[in-house]
Amino acid sequence: MVEEGPLVFTPLLEEGKNKKFQEEVPVYVQKWMKFKELMIILQANLQEIIDRWADGKGPLATEFSTNEVKSLIRALFQNTERRAAALARIK
């Protein structure tokens, strides 16, 4: 999904048309931005996830609820003090 998902919308060979294409995808695919954030989370380390959360004001917070982000962190990272500290920062 992470590797082949973005290939669903293959960029056009003409560079000028790509900008319009990139602007239209989120319009026609309602969950596109959430999908893109999920792809980032699946490849990110714990600090990158916290940075994207940005105290509930970042792009991750725009697409995912507090509980969803906490669940993803629990699923992706083993139970350590760093994970506990990260979970405490997600509010």
pLDDT for 13-56, tens place per residue? 666 666 666 666 666 677 888 988 999 999 999 999 999 999 99
Smallest CA-to-CA distance from 41 within 26, 58, 23, 21 is with 58
C-alpha distances (whole Å) from 49 to each of 12, 15, 36, 41, 62 are 31, 31, 13, 6, 13
**Three-state secondary-structure class, residue 65:** coil
Give pLDDT tens digits for 50-77. 999 999 999 999 999 999 999 999 999 9
> Residue 4: its pLDDT value, please?
64
**Domain map (residue ranges) of the chain:** 14-89
Confidence band for 7, pLDDT divided at 50, 70 and 90: low
Question: Is the pTM for the entire model greater than 0.75?
Answer: no
